[in-house]
Chain A
């Protein structure tokens, strides 16, 4: 215990690393939901037989954009997107820059989860909404999204947990945060204390996210 408090690296760099990790996860989670949710809705409603079938556009977005992005390993995608981060935020270093590649890496993942959640909404409910005179937007906003909300929250939870893992990787190429701390001090300087503390912190963070997500999802579920 004493070693933890007397460790100079932990005392100096740990608070900053925690803040950086939370920044990366927070910013990229925000943008992932902001873009991934509409993208998932789009993927679901444009399939043949969907609410607004657009088979060709759906194929292009689904196969080319989503599948290709998802098939690139995150470690590679991250490095490949450094120029884009520089273009968007002016720098390739720091948690904000890392959030660019983090968001782009998880948006297609989240969109796929959203698509699956919406597919699980019983078709009879969509029929009922259409028969009572809903517009397509009303079917989406008043039936599809509210009816799948518990599942959507669970999907978002899974995505944020994935982001915590990715953010540690992003730390290695300039993102900072707990990943960088563990690598620089724990691995390269053989500081076992730093390594253990960061691992424990990441585990605690993931647990907190998972438990909170499950609690919200349960409290929204009236089935």
Chain B
């Protein structure tokens, strides 16, 4: 279990103070994977540097299973670091070492006996699916294989926490999923506490049990995946269940009110739309929609246009009575915000990074 409490980091640039982290708090229980998502410049890198103690936080605390890390003395900093295994975006393997040599590296630092190192290296390489690649140099491995070596190396010091900094951002989609599945599998088998820092919503959807949205050095939304996804007003829900930006089909529609509907869990099983159509005897037109399974629950996010004779307040009431979030869509501000997150499931930062 890792707990981060009110973490602040202020950099000094000449006379100016730059607040990189402004009171970040997180708590991730053992055996679970927490995603931290944010644009470039949101403070993700600073957070990683503070968690690994490469930078000292200005104030606040980081603790693993109750042991405080952020205030340890310089002489104890190396032992503290070994409790956190870190996986990097580009694996950061040593080119002069073989796969086995790279995995052995953290154990050599504490002068572990040679036969012990050899046994552990073999075990770890097997664990990440790289049996038989002991003597391969990083240049002879694919990107995914290099990342597997990186993960094995991160586990070599028996850490409690695995910190993954954009672990799949340099990989193709198929390899991304392989690595994510590996991380999920290891989390279960070794009862690790995992933090994944990423800008890809796909990563969060696939493996994270909970997620935090980091923006301007603050956690602005946080919670279990199923919880944040069912809040129609949350930015994370919009990013998790994006609606494509669609041009209205000219002439094909009556000018009726447009509703946004988000259903989850039990609500997702009922035939809501046809229910509305029958109950009010009106026509409905689905403009856009996205259906996903998140955190083991079914979610649906729809934009629906009603006929202009429909009583929109009655329809909203009908939906809300059945535990479905619904609201009137279509105000310009709302649309602008929507389009900001719309294509987010492929690349969160690329689409939204500099728009703020």
Judged by a CB distance under 8 angstroms, whether A91 is at the interface is no
Q: Are A128 and B157 in contact (CB under 8 A)?
A: no
Contacts A133-B79, A133-B82, A135-B78 hold; do A128 and B92 have CB atoms under 8 A apart? yes
Tell me, in angstroms, the Cα distance from A147 to B95 when the chains sit together: 7
Q: Are B52 and A131 in contact (CB under 8 A)?
A: yes
Judged by a CB distance under 8 angstroms, whether A47 is at the interface is no
Q: Are B109 and A138 in contact (CB under 8 A)?
A: yes
Interface string of A128-144 (1 = CB under 8 A from B): 11111111001000110
CB distance from B264 to the nearest CB of A (A): 39
Judged by a CB distance under 8 angstroms, whether B86 is at the interface is yes
Interface of A is mostly: helix
Interface string of A105-133 (1 = CB under 8 A from B): 00000000000000000101101111111
Judged by a CB distance under 8 angstroms, whether A149 is at the interface is yes
Tell me, in angstroms, the Cα distance from A133 to B92 when the chains sit together: 15
Q: Are B96 and A149 in contact (CB under 8 A)?
A: yes
Tell me, in angstroms, the Cα distance from A128 to B106 when the chains sit together: 10
Q: Are A124 and B88 in contact (CB under 8 A)?
A: yes
Residues of B within 8 Å of A143, CB to CB, are 94
Closest residue of A by beta carbon distance from B154: A132
CB distance from B149 to the nearest CB of A (A): 12
CB distance from A149 to the nearest CB of B (A): 6
On chain A, the number of residues with a Cβ less than 8 Å from chain B's Cβ atoms is: 21
Residues of B within 8 Å of A122, CB to CB, are 92
Residues of B within 8 Å of A149, CB to CB, are 96
Judged by a CB distance under 8 angstroms, whether A222 is at the interface is yes
Residues of B within 8 Å of A128, CB to CB, are 86, 88, 92-93, 153
Residues of A within 8 Å of B156, CB to CB, are 132
Judged by a CB distance under 8 angstroms, whether B110 is at the interface is yes
Q: Are B81 and A131 in contact (CB under 8 A)?
A: yes
Judged by a CB distance under 8 angstroms, whether A146 is at the interface is yes
CB distance from B244 to the nearest CB of A (A): 37
Tell me, in angstroms, the Cα distance from A138 to B96 when the chains sit together: 15
Judged by a CB distance under 8 angstroms, whether A189 is at the interface is no
Tell me, in angstroms, the Cα distance from A147 to B54 when the chains sit together: 21
- Known contacts A127-B54, A127-B92, A138-B109, then 16 further A-B pairs from the complex at CB < 8 Å, ordered by chain A residue: A122-B92, A124-B88, A124-B90, A128-B86, A129-B105, A130-B54, A130-B81, A132-B82, A133-B78, A133-B81, A133-B157, A142-B105, A147-B94, A147-B96, A222-B95, A222-B139
**24 A-B residue contacts at CB 8 Å?**
A124-B88, A124-B92, A128-B86, A128-B88, A128-B153, A129-B105, A130-B81, A131-B52, A131-B54, A131-B86, A132-B81, A132-B105, A132-B106, A132-B109, A132-B157, A133-B79, A134-B78, A134-B109, A138-B109, A142-B94, A143-B94, A149-B96, A222-B95, A222-B138
Binding site for B on A (CB under 8 A): 122, 124-125, 127-135, 138, 142-143, 146-147, 149, 220, 222-223
